[in-house]
Amino acid sequence: MNLRAGTDDVRSQLRHPMKHARGLGSAQHGVDHWWTQRVTAAALIALGLWFVVTVLSLLHADYATAKAMVARPWNALLLILFVVTAFWHAVLGLQVVIEDYVHTRWKEVVLLVAIKFLAVLGALAGVLAVLRIALGV
Amino acid sequence: MADTQRPLSPHLQVYRWQIQMVTSILHRATGVALAVGTLLVVWGILALASGEAAFEQFKTCTGSPVGLILLAGWSWALSYHLCNGIRHLVQDTGAGYAIPQFVRSSWLSVIGSIVLTVAIWACVLIHGGAA
């Protein structure tokens, strides 16, 4: 009898089938990070192009024109989506870069938390500012 | 650096440079640059929300020589990250991994990013320059 196959049998019996049902892997995150990075990337193709075109259309615009442009409902909505999606995608990407290159554990954790704080701060500030412009508060 | 005393694998300086590693490194570098650029976008929106004086200040900063150099850099970073990002999304389907295809799509990303950047700044020049 193949001893190796025997051990594998025992191991597979000891593993709970729930592991496969959940599909979360040893880090307990599954494919969430990978998948969210791709979905936000796909959204940013359209939102990024829209943003560049919008900024170009605002060349030489005075304050009132620029404000009126952002205040238009579709522009306000797309700008909010762009800011939130960009920060989300940035956090996911920066996280991988930090995990790859920062080898001192405490520095790694501090940076990982710091980029999340900064991103939430930036995204919320952006959203509130767009709302303020759009709602004329 | 690493806490560990184990030997580390040889790093970038020992490899002959080739386009595949350039595109990979640039994707990360432009990604980090764009993350910083997002803060500029927020600054612009905040300035627009807080009043004309703040917005004029924002325009003066972005229209200054340093501002324009940074904007040029960010426009290329965005163009490159967009082109190469689309390339990565295509590769995520499992396509384009044969070495000749991989090299060709690498060049396509680089050339595409330059074309896009030139198109953006041509648009700026046609509309009478940036400042």
Radius of gyration of chain B (CA): 19
Angle at B70 between CA B69 and CA B74, to 5 degrees: 120
In contact, B24 and B18? CB cutoff 8 Å: no
Q: Are A122 and B128 within 8 A, CB to CB?
A: no
Burial B9-21 (b: 16+ CB within 10 A, else e): eeeeeeeeeeeee
Q: Are A52 and B120 within 8 A, CB to CB?
A: yes
pLDDT at B54: 96
pLDDT score of A1 more than 50: no
ipTM value, please give it: 0.89
The predicted-structure confidence for B48-78, as pLDDT tens digits, reads as follows 999 999 999 999 999 999 999 999 999 999 9
> Is the dihedral angle over the CA atoms B119, B56, B45, A54 positive or is it negative?
negative
CA–CA distance, A37 with B76 (Å, rounded to integer): 21
pLDDT at B28: 96
In contact, B53 and B90? CB cutoff 8 Å: no
**Could you tell me which chain B residue has the CA closest to the CA of A93?**
B31
The residues, any chain, with a CB within 8 Å of residue B23's CB and separated by 6 or more, are: B84, B87, B106, B109, B110
pLDDT at B41: 97
The predicted-structure confidence for A73-94, as pLDDT tens digits, reads as follows 999 999 999 999 999 999 999 9
The predicted-structure confidence for A37-71, as pLDDT tens digits, reads as follows 999 999 999 999 999 999 999 998 999 999 999 99
Contacts of A94 in chain B (CB under 8 A): 31-32, 35
Position B31, amino acid: G
| pLDDT averaged over 10-residue windows placed end to end, chain B, 131 residues | 67 82 95 98 97 95 96 98 98 94 96 98 86 57
pLDDT at B8: 73
CA–CA distance, A137 with B51 (Å, rounded to integer): 12
Query: Residue A132 is nearest to which of B41, B42, B49, comparing CB atoms?
Result: B49
* Total CB pairs under 8 A between chain A and B: 92
